[in-house]
Structure 1
Amino acid sequence: MTFPVVGRLVDAINAHDLDAIAATFASDFTSVWPAHPARSFDGPQNVRKNWEFIFAQFPDIRIAVTGSVESADEFWGEFHYVRPGAADLRGVIIIKVRGDEIVESRFFMEEVEEGAVPHPMPGVVR
């Protein structure tokens, strides 16, 4: 990974280390959820609160980056969140980096559907 801060973040999440998680984010960090705007928030203190809540709900959660593309200051990663006892999450997170800190994350994450579900677009065949 060209951006060691992303590797540190993944390691900190998998270690459930709240201090190390918060330390990867800049003081002016912004979390954006384009499809779910009410989930957006600012600041590393809110990142910490968010993960504290997640760890309480899913004490065995683990994450992995399953694919990625990097540019000058962005990491586009495909993430897989394994939440034992609940649906997995999969999706893309676009992480903007400044120096060795994360300044913005744009989340496109969804729960993985179980079983066969109808295609959401009429006329499209699998």
Structure 2
Amino acid sequence: MKTSESLSILPDGPVRRMFEATNRHDIEALVACFAEDYVNETPNHPDRGFTGRGQVQKNWSALFAGVPDLHAHVVGAATGPDGRIWVEWGTGGTRPDGGTVSMAGMVIFTVTTVQITAARFYLEPVEHGSGDVDAAVSSVATGIRGGTQPGGLS
């Protein structure tokens, strides 16, 4: 499915506009999709949570500068009974040094008709060569992962 086609599964509103602005690299339009007091919770990395769309602008400006061909695609989306929009999505692109960027995961958006007010953010870098399922389970069960504490079990 093409990126533009993948966005068609999103409901009309601020989440779809956010993805469209992301793929155009239109920072002003993207930031306008977020409420001034937007709250981002990142449960897997609690210290990364933040409040305010100023940080949204800072984050996406850095991503657009560092990954000039960054694009986002939607794998699936659903609207919950509480109106929150659940989106499985990913991003990809290439940095100027030739390194590739690939992220995948879920974000659960809380929205009004015009803006995103909050998100629970579960988007993570795609890891290749990070070990199989047995290694992941072992690292959680034993606390050892290549001499370091485990990052968790997927």
* TM-score, normalization by structure 2: 0.73
Q: Give the Cα separation in 2 of the matches to 1:19 and 1:116.
A: 37
- For residue 8 of structure 1, give the secondary structure of its aligned residue in structure 2: helix
In the other structure, the counterpart of 2:142 is none
- Pair 1:121 & 2:131 matched: no
Provide closer, same or farther for how the CA distance between residues 11 and 64 of structure 1 changes in structure 2, counting only shifts above 3 A.
same
In the other structure, the counterpart of 1:51 is 60
Question: Structure 1 runs of 4+ off > 6 angstroms?
Answer: none
Give the C-alpha shift of residue 9 in structure 1.
Answer: 0.4
Q: Contact 2:14–2:113 (CA<8 Å) still a contact in 1?
A: no
In the other structure, the counterpart of 1:74 is 84
Q: Give the Cα separation in 2 of the matches to 1:87 and 1:11.
A: 19
> In the TM superposition, what are the counterparts of 1:26-105 in structure 2 within 5 Å?
26-71=35-80, 72-84=82-94, 85-105=99-119
**How high is the sequence identity, in percent, across the aligned residues?**
33
- The residue identity in structure 2 corresponding to 1:107 is F
- The residue identity in structure 2 corresponding to 1:80 is G
- For residue 26 of structure 1, give the secondary structure of its aligned residue in structure 2: strand
- How many corresponding residue pairs? 122
- The residue identity in structure 1 corresponding to 2:55 is N
Q: Give the Cα separation in 2 of the matches to 1:87 and 1:26.
A: 28
- The residue identity in structure 2 corresponding to 1:54 is L
- For residue 34 of structure 1, give the secondary structure of its aligned residue in structure 2: coil
- Give unpaired runs (5+ residues) of structure 1: none
Give the C-alpha shift of residue 116 in structure 1.
Answer: 6.7
* TM-score, normalization by structure 1: 0.89
Give the C-alpha shift of residue 105 in structure 1.
Answer: 1.0
Give the C-alpha shift of residue 3 in structure 1.
Answer: 4.0
Report which of the two structures shows the higher radius of gyration computed on alpha carbons.
2
- For residue 43 of structure 2, give the secondary structure of its aligned residue in structure 1: coil
- Pair 1:11 & 2:20 matched: yes
Q: Give the Cα separation in 2 of the matches to 1:115 and 1:35.
A: 21
- Give unpaired runs (5+ residues) of structure 2: 1-9, 139-154
When the two chains are superposed, the root-mean-square deviation of aligned CA atoms in Å is 1.5
